[in-house]
Amino acid sequence: MKRRTFIETSVAAAAVFAARRSWAAASEHEIKKVGLQLYTVRTEMPKDFEGTIAKVAATGYKEVEFAGYFEHSPKDVRAILDKNGLTSPSQHVPYDVVEKKWPETLEASHVVGHKYIVCPWLDEKQRNADGWIRAAELFNKAGEASEKAGIQFCYHNHSFEFAPDATMGGKLAYDVLLQKTDPKFVKMEMDLCWISVAGKDPVSYFEKYPGRFPLVHVKDYVNDPNATSSYAGATGSVEFKGRLADVGKGTIDFKRIFAASEKGGIKHYFVENDDAKNPFEDIKISYDYLNALRF
C-alpha cells in the first residue's frame, strides 16, 4: 500500500471510529441528579439534622427525599436545602396524614419545594379487599386535591403488595391499586428492591402501565441463607432469605431496568438502604455506582 493511500485510509478509519464512539455516547443515558431517601440516614438525622444533610450533599447527591422533618419547620428545612445546594422533589407521609391532614401537608410541601408526596405504607390490618379499595378511593381524592395544588400524589410499594390476596380472589394489591386509581391523580414510586424480592419484573410494569412511575427507590439485595432478618414488615407473606446491600453490590440489574426509564416515566432516582450499617460510607458506595452508571 502506498504511503498516501495508507494515510488516507487511516484517517477515514479514525473518523468512522470517532463517529461510532460519539453515537454510542449519545445513545447512552445517565442519572443527572442522584437522589437519597433520607430514611437511609435516619439514625443520624435526630443527632445532627443540618450536619447530616450537609454530609449528604458533600457526597455528591443533588436531591433528597424526606421521611419526616424531625421537628424542623418547612421554612427551616428549605433554608438548609438551599444552603447545601439541594432540592427535595418529594417526601413520604403516613396514611393517616393523607387522610386527616392533607391541606396543611400540601401547604408545607410548597414551602419546601416538593413536587411529589408519597404514601409509603398501608397498615397490615387494612391489607384486605375492603382496605385496598378504601385506600384507592382515598388516594384518588388526595391526588385530585394535590393535582390542583401542582403536586403529584404517589404510593410506594414493599413486597407484600405482590403476594396473591385471598380476599381479592388471588389478585395482587399492587395491580388493584393501579387499576382502581386515576393515572392522572395517582402514580407510583416503585421500590426496585422489594418488587424484585417478590419475584416481579419492574420492566413488565413499565410496559403495562407506561408513565405511572415518576419516582423509584434504588435499593439492592443479595440472597443469603444465613441472613438473620427476614424483613417481615416489608415482605409480608413473601418469603425472603437475604439481606439488603449497597446499590451495585447486590443482584439487581439496574442497567436493564433503567434502560426502560423513559417507558416507565422515571424522573427521580432515590438511593435507599433500610439497613445501612455505616450510613455515610454506604451512601457513598451507592452514589459512586449510580453516578458512573450508563444505560
The chain-wide mean pLDDT, for the chain, equals 93
Query: Which backbone phi and psi does 259 adopt, to 5 degrees?
Result: -65, -20
Reported confidence tier of residue 13, pLDDT bands at 50, 70, 90: very low
Closest C-alpha to 143, from 218, 66, 214, 216: 214
CATH, range 33-292: 3.20.20.150
Q: How far apart are CA 143 and CA 53, in angstroms?
A: 29
Residues 176-207 as b/e (b if ≥16 CB within 10 A, e otherwise) read: bbbeebeeebbbbbbbbbbbbbbebebbebbe
The reported pLDDT for the residue numbered 229 is 81
% the chain with pLDDT above 90? 89
% the chain with pLDDT above 70? 91
Q: How far apart are CA 182 and CA 188, in angstroms?
A: 11
The reported pLDDT for the residue numbered 27 is 62
Q: What is the pLDDT of residues 186-229, one digit of tens each?
A: 999 999 999 999 999 999 999 999 999 999 999 999 999 999 88
Reported confidence tier of residue 36, pLDDT bands at 50, 70, 90: very high
Reported confidence tier of residue 4, pLDDT bands at 50, 70, 90: low
Reported confidence tier of residue 24, pLDDT bands at 50, 70, 90: very low
pLDDT, mean of residues 155-179? 97
Q: Which residue has the higher pLDDT, 105 or 11?
A: 105
Q: C-alpha cell of 100?
A: 386527616
Which neighbouring-strand residues pair with 87?
Answer: 63
The reported pLDDT for the residue numbered 230 is 77
The answer to whether residue 8 scores a pLDDT higher than 80 is no
| Paired sense of beta strands 242-245 and 220-223, if any | antiparallel
The reported pLDDT for the residue numbered 180 is 98
Looking at 9-18, 20-29, 50-59, 222-231, which range is the least confident one?
Answer: 9-18
The answer to whether residue 22 scores a pLDDT higher than 80 is no
Note the pTM of the prediction, 2 decimals.
0.91
The reported pLDDT for the residue numbered 1 is 52
pLDDT, mean of residues 162-190? 98
Q: What is the pLDDT of residues 123-143, one digit of tens each?
A: 999 999 999 999 999 999 999
Collect all residues with Cβ–Cβ distance below 8 Å to 291 and sequence separation of at least 6: 30, 31, 34, 60
The reported pLDDT for the residue numbered 2 is 54
